[in-house]
Amino acid sequence: MRRPKEGAVTRNKGWSARVWRTGPVVIAAAALLAGCEGVQDAGSPAGDESGGAASGGRAASPLDNPDGTGPGLAPVTGESDRAEAVDLITKVTTKGRGPKTGYDRDEFGYAWMDTADGVPLARNGCDTRNDLLQRDGREVRFRSGSDCVVVAMTLDDPYTGTTIEWRKQEAAEVQVDHVVPLSYSWQMGSSRWPEDKRRQLANDPLNLMPVDGSANSAKGDSGPASWLPPSKAVRCSYSVRFAQVVLKYDLPVTAPDRSAMLEQCGA
């Protein structure tokens, strides 16, 4: 179920409390269990009153979140921040996109492994996908008996600017996007990397964003010259995050992609 971020009201009254994984686990009220049996939720940290919408403070600017462990993708605003964004993107190198020959998702390890060393959240007992749902989701609820497997949450989707009330029964409604697509990276040089480095790229929170499934499907393996988030407010942020990933992994982008990234931040 999807609703606009601004001024919208959630009608599922069992979701009135904001919840996080890091707090103590509490038992859901009987009214909630009637609609979501076998589910537990996480308690709120004391003193947290930051609100729900991504634009209201939960989402982090990529400039303030260089390791990707903070939630969401807040807009880059203000002259100084945009100048910083442009400066970062100008450091990205360019080259032509190579062939896709030999690409296979399995070359980057099996999907959502918890054993990709060298990245945040690795080997914490929870797979990458569930780590990311917990990072970005609000009112997160877990499978009964688990503090890992997310079965329901509210997601303020940065790509479309909508809010999604997600349930595991409709898993594909929220997909975890590789900001720099794995196929794109393959064509830009990761085909020559050792497998452990490819596993890092595939499971690095810096390169991962839970988003609207249809938007992610529309993106495919496109670079920024061919696809940008439908929400114009985060296009500079998206370009910054793309730049952060390729700089961390010493990957180039195509010249049109770099130009598009700079344009989104006002260069």
Q: What is the mean pLDDT of residues 72-97?
A: 97
What mean pLDDT, rounded, does the chain reach? 84
| Spatial separation of the C-alpha atoms in residues 104 and 161, rounded to whole Å | 31
For the chain, give the percent of residues with pLDDT over 70: 79
Confidence category of residue 3, pLDDT binned at 50, 70, 90:
low
What are the pLDDT digits (tens) for 180-224? Answer: 999 999 999 999 999 999 999 999 999 999 999 999 999 999 999
Model confidence at 32: pLDDT above 80: no
Q: What angle, rounded to 10 degrees, do the helices at 79-90 and 235-248 form?
A: 40
What are the pLDDT digits (tens) for 98-138? Answer: 999 999 999 999 999 999 999 999 999 999 999 999 999 99
Among 28-32, 94-98, 127-131, name the one with the lowest average pLDDT.
28-32
Model confidence at 164: pLDDT above 50: yes
In 3D space, the residue among 207, 246, 206 whose CA is nearest the CA of residue 94 turns out to be 246
Confidence category of residue 267, pLDDT binned at 50, 70, 90:
confident
The residue type of 194 is P
Query: Quick one: DSSP state of residue 72?
Result: S
Q: What is the mean pLDDT of residues 217-242?
A: 98
Are 220 and 66 in contact by the 8 Å Cβ rule? The answer is no
The residue type of 191 is S
Q: What is the mean pLDDT of residues 3-8?
A: 43
| Spatial separation of the C-alpha atoms in residues 124 and 8, rounded to whole Å | 35
Are 240 and 89 in contact by the 8 Å Cβ rule? The answer is yes
The residue type of 239 is S
